[in-house]
Amino acid sequence: MDLRIENVSHTYGSFEVLHDISLDIPQGQIVCVIGPSGCGKSTLLRFLGGLEQPAKGAIVQVGEPPADSLNPLTYVFQHFALLPWRTVEGNISLPLEEHRLSGAEREAIISDVLARTRLSDFRRALPKQLSGGMKQRVAIARALAVRPAVLLMDEPLSALDSQTRELLMDDLVTLWERQPFTAVYVTHNLAEAVRLGHRIVVLSRRPGRIREIVDIDIPLSERDLANPELAAKQKLLWDLMHEEAAAADQELVDV
């Protein structure tokens, strides 16, 4: 299943957040969205997930989700959103409980995503016993458990320290290499975008417009940020964002 954003604009009252966004999100690609603070990145993600409707334009699903998909559009949040009284397997089981699955089917799904995210040895641990990186791996495992057509990832690594962020990026690359998934990945971090994105969409300051779409053809497993081509891509992204980010930093927030 592909997603298509068609001429999406949105205002909150008289406050315009997004202006005429059109974008294709092809199946099997990670599309990163970057831009200055307040440019509408998270708003766009909410439209994709159906949590809000744009004032103008449309979000179109092209094709059908996989036959085994239990939830075609699934979020991974910045702050994990784990239930503290549930174990790792209990948190992963949560979105499965609303579906008609036998105990054996649920157990098979949980065991599979635990193995894919390297959490099998921690299935009975509580969130308070886990590091930040492990908590986010639980959140990713929970999202994968419903076999989504598209993962919607809102700053998923921004709450983590730099070393943990690097490890989680490696984990995401490994997951994608083993079983390619589709994702829209919102981030402020240019290194994350260059490391993970097949396409990088650069938004302007508000109202967010698409300034540029940067494609990266290097396979995910072969990406090294010291690579001159990737370093040049990261510099290009910063050149596109620098002045707009500085201007956005001086704007008043509408309340």
- Here the contacts of 227-232 (C-beta below 8 Å, separation 24 or greater) are 230/194
From CA 134, how far away is CA 140, in angstroms rounded? Answer: 10
Q: Which of the listed CATH numbers 3.40.50.10490, 1.10.443.10, 3.40.50.300, 3.40.720.10 matches domain 2-65+149-249?
A: 3.40.50.300
- pLDDT tens for 92-108 read 999 999 899 999 999 99
Whether pLDDT at 245 is above 70:
no
**Nearest 10 degrees: Cα torsion 153, 157, 158, 161:** 180
**Per-position b or e across 54-78, b if 16+ CB within 10 A of its CB:** beebebebeeebeeebbbbbbbbbb
Alpha helices in 146-161 (DSSP H): none
Whole-number pLDDT of residue 253: 52
In the chain, what are the domain boundaries? 2-65+149-249, 83-147
From CA 112, how far away is CA 106, in angstroms rounded? Answer: 10
Whether pLDDT at 255 is above 50:
no
Mean of the per-residue pLDDT values for the chain? Answer: 91
From CA 111, how far away is CA 101, in angstroms rounded? Answer: 15
